Structure 1
Amino acid sequence: MQEFKISNEIKNLDLNYIKDNLFFYKYDNKNLTLLYDENKNLKEESYESAAYHSFKGEVFENIIYEHLLRYAKENENITSFVLKGPHQNKNNIFKKNGLLIDKGAQIVYKSVYKDISEFDALFFTKDSIYFVEMSKSKKTAGLNKRLFKKSALLKILFPNLQIKALIVLTEGSTGISRFPDYCTIWITKDFNDDKLLKDLIFKNTNHGKLIKYTEEKYIEAINVNYKKFSYFQTLEWILLKSRSHKTHAVDLNFFRTYKLSLYFDVFTKLYIGYIQIKDFKQIVPYKESIKENRVIVTIEKINQKKFAIVYYVRHTNYKLKRVFFLDDKLQVEDKDPEGFTNKETRFIAKIFKPEHRLLIKNINNISKKLQEGIITSM
């Protein structure tokens, strides 16, 4: 699929018409200056530092975004283009829910101040919405994996539009043939403009005014019309619906629908109930002290082919652990105290009622069905 062709300007990362605008983006200048010595020369060890690579990727993204603004202006097939960075209205950064611009001036979908997904750029055609991902990393496996969540979220928000992606990579990137069919791939020359990076950090150039895009097709994120998606209320609905079957403890057929396949891509895990500690410890050899007499049970999408039972255990010190079996070996992972999973588990724990308890026989039956492939990706 190549509805949009890359221009020579973009392919060659031509800065002639966009360079001044790059100085209006926010950068962590204070910390980035530490990468240089007192004579403002890049330290030898800084070339391969994570901070320098991250900054280089950030600038690459801004270069492509500025080019896309120009590209959209000339392309009649692009009907709307979402503004971000220095181009968007600063009054719109304080919203807490929905599609919006965050405090970092990025396009995000938020729920209760938490980012569900971020998009490097968004634009519309007559019948489609394109999300844009830009990366100068040569390895693309991680980027490819992230597309599932972004695509699924947009399918929920825009059910009447085709969801497509524009992926912008640099020469030498691997795994290009593995991207989904809905992706258009653009390849640019490699980005190694150390002088530009230095100028941006130290503001070495007398740049002009911001070139603005005021045509009607350039829009604010908060003005985009989409179907409402309530993150936590959806998790609650899935729990209640999956446990409402007259004869089955958990209605696994409910999880086999197209709609639920999208939710698996957005949430990764869906909550199906809890198990008491005494039952949990018969299934899992777990010795740590658990805060309450219940362990949260989820069905989790491990990868595009595998679904499995995963437990979430809150210790007496309030730390949350992800507990699961991988190749019959017990795995225990720490969860971020400020992350979404912590918020989800606290929310879902308040929803639980006695009838949401799962027995050992229920867990064993669900695990067996999952291993047999009762749930598949769509």
Structure 2
Amino acid sequence: MQFKITNKIKNLEIGELKDNLFHYSYDSKTLKSLFKNNISKDDISYITAHSSFKGEIYENIIYELLMDYALNNEKIKGFVLKGPYQDMENKFIKSGLLIDRTSQIVFKSAYKDISEFDAMFFTEDKLYFVEMSTSKKTASLNKRLAKKYALLKMIFPYLEINALIVVTTGSIGLNNFPSYATIWVTKDLDDDELIEKIIFAKKVKNDLQTLKAPEDKKYLEAFSLKYKKFAYFPTLEWILNGSRKNPKFKVDLSFFSNSKMNLYFDIYTKLYIGYLNLECFKVFYKDFDMELENNRVFVTLEKVTQTQIDIVYYAKLKNKKLYRIRIEEGLTPSIKEKEPDGFTNAEVRFFSKILEERHILNAKDINHILKNISIIEFKK
């Protein structure tokens, strides 16, 4: 079953819903400053800020139109409220599917956002998550889908998961989206008068309900949804220990070759399998000269492309910086610093506490894994 776009949505006919757009929270500080300083509209800083802001408005327009669409479509049984419509305070909920401080639909673990969804609705036996974008390039949007799809498949195992992608005319790469995605194409948002009014409108607080959704049982609060719990960090630990249960191998690669592990790779990107000490790591990267925090380099199996798994290392230094290091034969090692407040840093802090001496790997182990890594096959 595919939902068809209406002419109203295709043409962004917001009509009587236009006033509702002023109840959403926007980040207009940068644009206001650029306006006040008479920055040229041809300046790259203005173009970037304006494009981002227009994207926020576009998302809210589509959300408003989708609310109306859901109300009038008998196949849609539930539609999740967000923004100015949600009336449940979620600030202090640590984990789960909820509305966050910015009034978006998110799945959190230990206060950190794992995934964000622009909208979400249900039929009798399906869940649709919605992604909207004004960018004409869709590659990064497409790449983000795998994690969201896998997470929802994990917490709603009894539902078929689908995506609704809403983009604007002229977007490229639409044929590259997965089969579970329905694509809607709308006109560009070109109402400059509306955009400028919203830029200078009075700022709305995120956590206030200022609009009331029509009285209908279809409209749902995120906190009321029933789903299977997903424990982010304990699952990573379970994977680490599960991969070591086969007495024949230090790391059993066949453990990673099933449909459930495929979902885990999409959710986490990388799965931790142990660590190397500095001396052993230098067997593979002899010029490594960073000062490690605890004489450990964390070893992961990482999904580096949609079809390729490779060993990727993470080095936490004495200065608290964390680096991703990928070593490919014949190439200069790829080194990238990770965000201090990102999930990878949180994962490494977690594993710093739970890794034991039994989790250490050596050069022979690494070579064995690299030689046999093709054992990992993704089964649907």
Change (3 A) 1:377 1:277: farther
Instruction: Write the letter of the residue equivalent to 2:238.
Output: W
Q: What does residue 144 of structure 1 align with?
A: 142
Residue 194 in 1 paired to residue 168 in 2? no
Identity of matched residues, %: 52
Stretch moving more, 184-193 or 61-70: 184-193
Cα distance in 1 between the residues matched to 2:214 and 2:281: 58
Instruction: Write the letter of the residue equivalent to 1:231.
Output: Y
Q: What does residue 311 of structure 2 align with?
A: 309
Q: What does residue 9 of structure 2 align with?
A: 10
User: How many residues are paired up?
Assistant: 371
Cα distance in 1 between the residues matched to 2:117 and 2:68: 18
Offset from partner CA, 1:114-167 (integer Å, 9 cap, x none)? 000000000000010000000111100111111100000000000010000100
- The partner residue of 2:362 within 359, 363, 369 is 359
Offset from partner CA, 1:233-285 (integer Å, 9 cap, x none)? 00010001111211111011110011111000000000000111111111112
- The partner residue of 1:113 within 104, 111, 114 is 111
1:81/1:218 contact within 8 Å kept:
yes
TM (normalized to structure 2)? 0.93
Instruction: Write the letter of the residue equivalent to 1:22.
Output: L
Cα distance in 1 between the residues matched to 2:146 and 2:22: 33
Cα distance in 2 between the residues matched to 1:52 and 1:340: 29
1:154/1:163 contact within 8 Å kept:
yes
Q: What does residue 256 of structure 1 align with?
A: 257
Stretch moving more, 325-334 or 125-134: 325-334
SS of the aligned residue for 1:240 comes to: helix
Cα distance in 1 between the residues matched to 2:185 and 2:278: 53
Q: What does residue 31 of structure 1 align with?
A: 30
1:94/1:102 contact within 8 Å kept:
no
Change (3 A) 1:126 1:369: same
Instruction: Write the letter of the residue equivalent to 2:112.
Output: K
SS of the aligned residue for 1:273 comes to: strand
Offset at residue 292 of structure 1 (A) = 1.4
Q: What does residue 59 of structure 1 align with?
A: 57
SS of the aligned residue for 2:165 comes to: strand
SS of the aligned residue for 1:23 comes to: helix
Offset at residue 358 of structure 1 (A) = 0.6
Cα distance in 2 between the residues matched to 1:353 and 1:38: 57
SS of the aligned residue for 1:321 comes to: strand
Residue 219 in 1 paired to residue 220 in 2? yes
Stretch moving more, 47-56 or 241-250: 47-56
Structure 2 unaligned spans of 5+:
203-209
Instruction: Write the letter of the residue equivalent to 1:221.
Output: A
Cα distance in 1 between the residues matched to 2:6 and 2:217: 23
Change (3 A) 1:141 1:46: closer
1:164/1:183 contact within 8 Å kept:
yes
2:40/2:46 contact within 8 Å kept:
no
1:97/1:111 contact within 8 Å kept:
yes
Report matched runs for 1:321-360 at 5 Å. Answer: 321-326=323-328, 328-329=330-331, 330-360=333-363
SS of the aligned residue for 2:23 comes to: coil
Q: What does residue 87 of structure 1 align with?
A: 85
Report matched runs for 1:225-304 at 5 Å. Answer: 225-285=226-286, 286-304=288-306
TM (normalized to structure 1)? 0.94
Offset from partner CA, 1:354-373 (integer Å, 9 cap, x none)? 11111110000101112x45
Offset from partner CA, 1:64-114 (integer Å, 9 cap, x none)? 000000000000100000000000015234312100000000000000110
SS of the aligned residue for 1:213 comes to: coil
What is the Cα-based RMSD across aligned positions, in Å? 1.8
2:99/2:106 contact within 8 Å kept:
yes
Instruction: Write the letter of the residue equivalent to 1:365.
Output: H
Cα distance in 2 between the residues matched to 1:171 and 1:326: 40
1:242/1:254 contact within 8 Å kept:
yes
1:117/1:150 contact within 8 Å kept:
yes
Cα distance in 2 between the residues matched to 1:211 and 1:193: 26
Instruction: Write the letter of the residue equivalent to 1:355.
Output: R
Offset at residue 30 of structure 1 (A) = 3.4
Offset from partner CA, 1:168-191 (integer Å, 9 cap, x none)? 011001011111111111010111
Change (3 A) 1:158 1:90: closer
Cα distance in 1 between the residues matched to 2:261 and 2:168: 35
Offset at residue 327 of structure 1 (A) = 5.8
Cα distance in 2 between the residues matched to 1:327 and 1:59: 47
Cα distance in 2 between the residues matched to 1:259 and 1:376: 9
Change (3 A) 1:87 1:246: same
Q: What does residue 201 of structure 2 align with?
A: 203
Offset at residue 192 of structure 1 (A) = 2.0
Instruction: Write the letter of the residue equivalent to 1:297.
Output: V
Q: What does residue 206 of structure 2 align with?
A: none
Offset at residue 214 of structure 1 (A) = 2.7
Cα distance in 2 between the residues matched to 1:373 and 1:193: 54
2:213/2:219 contact within 8 Å kept:
no
Structure 1 unaligned spans of 5+:
none
